[in-house]
A and B are shown apart, each in its own frame.
Chain A
Amino acid sequence: MANAFVAAFEILSFGAIIVLIVLGLGIIASMMGIFNFAQGEFVLLGAYITYLAYAKGLPIWAGMVAAPFVVGALGFVLEALIIRRFYAAPIVAMLGTYALGLIIREAVRGLIGGFYLTVPEPIGGSIDIGAMHISAWRFTIIVITLLVMGLCYLLLSRTSFGLRVRATLENPSLARASGISTPLIYGATFAFGAALAGLAGALIVPVFSLFADLGLRFLIQGFVAVMVGGVGSFIGPVAGAGVIGTLSAALPWVMAPVVADVLVFVLAIVFIKFRPQGLIAGKGV
């Protein structure tokens, strides 16, 4: 019983991490139709900023708060300078963002060297429920993920900014004709997606420690999750991330980890092949 509970918690917390990472990727993919290869590096950057705050003696939570803003601002600048040119050509966008990611990754690698740097958890210890102990920080990640998901949903479905974003997604030329500044919306959305990645990086760095290939590890999982969930909606990538995150965390409990790893990808690709529109088809929130 206790074991099953711990397993369920592990699965849930890993699923939450994947959801957090995929959220930004999914928003950018749905809005702009481009798959951002630099998203993993935005995660890395968020993690690095948190580490930097810790290394400079600032409180860790300060770094975690700063990370999404800094990464978001960088995303906004990059969108205006570079990404904007790629909207018409999704493949070129992949290559361009890959080049961007390469630059960021190698720059961070140069800064931290080839080390694995650890950042302590801002909320340490464990929560005891009866005889079971669960990590307090992982629990916090789950809570924050739920909060962020809820806020994103409200932002997109209830605010006037969200309305504009959805209008731009639905029909860009009509949105432009209605007086919505679509370039600004695109820029803001990209920055928002980047900020979410930065937040994800900041939150997971105590769990995974900081190394240059941190982002790469999640990038492909993120892509697969977005495709499984379905591009074009808010809820699609979240659902996909839930499925992929749960599967990748749950399967190693019942079979050899190597086989599980590969099986998740094979299942996902087969699924996408036969249902290209993903779990949840259609546009909207």
Chain B
Amino acid sequence: MLKRMSVVRGAIVADADDEADGAMAEGTAAEQANGRVKAGRKILPIVEGVVLVAALLAPLVLQDYLTVFATRVVILALFALSFDLVWGYAGIMSFGQALFFGSAGYGVALLARDLDITNIFLVLPAGMLIGLTFALLLGGFLLLGRHPSSVIFVSLGTLTGSYAADRLARGWYYLGGQNGIPSIAPMSLGSYEFSEGPAFYYLVLGILVVVYLLCRFLVRSQFGLALAGLRENEQRIAFFGYKAQHLKAIIFTIGGAVAGLAGSLYAFHEGFVWPNMVGVVVSTQVVLYVLFGGSGTLIGAVIGAVIVEGVSFWLSDNYRDIWPIILGLLLLLVILFRPLGLISFVLGERERVGSFGAKVKEKRDAP
């Protein structure tokens, strides 16, 4: 296993090196490049730290209604994280991520409405479980099988799933039809109730940080190494003996669970769920966040969600009508000229691919 991993690592590093080849033409240039890379390695933690500090301080400087808005953004960032895990790390284009987000939202809304269950330690795991189950079913069906599914099939399959769920939610009276489920009881912890405001914000932020760290650990683990290989060259990974489809199904399911967690938080924060939440609109929204921010970096997804939501909130007062057009134009420009997203302005490709596993000690005096 370990040997296999080191082969994969070699393959990926070789891929990353291809792009740095130009700079490494001469010996001195190589050293310089090496130094640059070493300096570059520190950027990601800095970006993460800045975002974290900004997020911690936000409620102190923001007015109350902005804190409520910021809470929503943090939840959406969590949602974006789930998509980044699936697309940025495993290369599965999930155009139906909202299916897991929304179904978990509906699930916890029903728990609160019909069974009066609002305890945070029950509803959040329930939401995760719902997202996980749906992702396992859909992902298992779309990804597993005798023949590997084409990437087009998976993306259209998830898109169709999300669209079908939207139609179902709209037409199903039990789920409230077009209007969704209004006035969900607030999430509770004992006798304390989480209502909109700083407490809810810090709760959500705490969850985001924990999930972020778990994801970061996951994608930097040996499993994450195999995933990165999958994204770069699926066939090569399959030739190494990995069951590429299983890896994909696993990460898809994990992504579904994270989306479910975000969805249940969103339902309790907004206080209602409605059919759009499972539909194509929200599914594509999350794709926008991650593309803007930069896929495959985790922090890029968070930044993307904050920027897209923040700018649209800021512009929606004066330029409500043309904002979506601007968004479309910007998205087009990013896809054409910055396929790795805004984060690629500060983050090098090598750092995006990242280092994996235990640090290999350099043997300088080896012959």
Most chain-B CB neighbours within 10 Å: which of A85, A99, A265? A99
- The DSSP consensus for interface residues of chain B is helix
Give the segment of B36-44, B220-228, B324-332 that binds chain A. Answer: B324-332
Interface string of B287-330 (1 = CB under 8 A from A): 10001000000000000000000000000000001101101110
Known: A82-B332, A95-B291, A276-B153. A258 touches B168 (CB 8 A): yes
Is B367 part of the binding interface, using a Cβ–Cβ cutoff of 8 Å? no
Give the segment of B51-59, B141-149, B241-249, B259-267 that binds chain A. Answer: B141-149
Is A80 part of the binding interface, using a Cβ–Cβ cutoff of 8 Å? no
Other than A256-B171, A261-B167, A273-B145, give 17 A-B pairs with Cβ distance below 8 A. A82-B332, A82-B336, A90-B151, A92-B335, A98-B284, A99-B332, A109-B321, A216-B280, A257-B171, A258-B170, A258-B172, A261-B171, A269-B157, A269-B161, A272-B157, A273-B142, A276-B153
Is B156 part of the binding interface, using a Cβ–Cβ cutoff of 8 Å? yes
Q: Which residues of A contact B (CB under 8 A)?
A: 35, 82, 85, 90-92, 94-96, 98-100, 102-103, 105-107, 109-110, 216, 220, 223-224, 227, 256-258, 261-262, 265-266, 268-269, 272-273, 276
Q: How far is the CA of A272 from the CA of B171 in the complex (A)?
A: 26
Q: How far is the CA of A102 from the CA of B149 in the complex (A)?
A: 28
Known: A102-B328, A110-B325. A91 touches B151 (CB 8 A): yes
Pick the contact of A273: B141, B155, B172 (CB < 8 A): B141
Q: How far is the CA of A258 from the CA of B287 in the complex (A)?
A: 27
B156 touches A35 (CB 8 A): yes
Q: How far is the CA of A210 from the CA of B291 in the complex (A)?
A: 31
Q: Which residues of B contact A (CB under 8 A)?
A: 93, 141-142, 145, 147, 149-153, 155-157, 159-161, 163-164, 167-168, 170-172, 280, 284, 287, 291, 321-322, 324-325, 327-329, 331-332, 335-336, 339
A265 touches B155 (CB 8 A): no
Pick the contact of A220: B163, B170, B329, B332 (CB < 8 A): B163
On chain A, the residues within 8 Å of B151 by CB distance are 90-91
Q: How far is the CA of A273 from the CA of B158 in the complex (A)?
A: 13
Pick the contact of A262: B155, B159, B167, B328 (CB < 8 A): B167
Known: A90-B152, A110-B321, A110-B325. A95 touches B287 (CB 8 A): yes
Pick the contact of A106: B149, B172, B325 (CB < 8 A): B325
Instruction: Give A174 Cβ to nearest chain B Cβ, in Å.
Output: 24
Instruction: Give B152 Cβ to nearest chain A Cβ, in Å.
Output: 6
When C-beta atoms are compared, the residue in chain A nearest to B331 turns out to be A99
Number of A-B contacts (CB under 8 A): 100
On chain A, the residues within 8 Å of B147 by CB distance are 276
On chain A, the residues within 8 Å of B157 by CB distance are 269, 272-273
On chain A, the residues within 8 Å of B322 by CB distance are 106, 110
Pick the contact of B156: A99, A224, A262, A266 (CB < 8 A): A224
Pick the contact of B335: A96, A105, A107, A109 (CB < 8 A): A96
Q: How far is the CA of A99 from the CA of B335 in the complex (A)?
A: 9
Q: How far is the CA of A216 from the CA of B156 in the complex (A)?
A: 14
Pick the contact of A103: B152, B171, B328 (CB < 8 A): B328
Most chain-A CB neighbours within 10 Å: which of B280, B331, B339? B331
B168 touches A107 (CB 8 A): no
Q: How far is the CA of A105 from the CA of B327 in the complex (A)?
A: 12
Q: How far is the CA of A61 from the CA of B167 in the complex (A)?
A: 34
Instruction: Give A251 Cβ to nearest chain B Cβ, in Å.
Output: 13
Q: How far is the CA of A100 from the CA of B322 in the complex (A)?
A: 14
When C-beta atoms are compared, the residue in chain B nearest to A224 turns out to be B160
Report, nearest first, the 6 A-B pairs whose CB atoms are least far apart. Answer: A258-B171, A103-B328, A102-B328, A106-B324, A99-B331, A99-B332
Q: How far is the CA of A256 from the CA of B325 in the complex (A)?
A: 37
When C-beta atoms are compared, the residue in chain B nearest to A265 turns out to be B164
Q: How far is the CA of A273 from the CA of B287 in the complex (A)?
A: 24
Q: How far is the CA of A91 from the CA of B156 in the complex (A)?
A: 11
On chain A, the residues within 8 Å of B332 by CB distance are 82, 96, 99-100, 103
A227 touches B153 (CB 8 A): yes
B159 touches A92 (CB 8 A): no
When C-beta atoms are compared, the residue in chain B nearest to A34 turns out to be B152
A96 touches B164 (CB 8 A): no
On chain B, the residues within 8 Å of A258 by CB distance are 167-168, 170-172
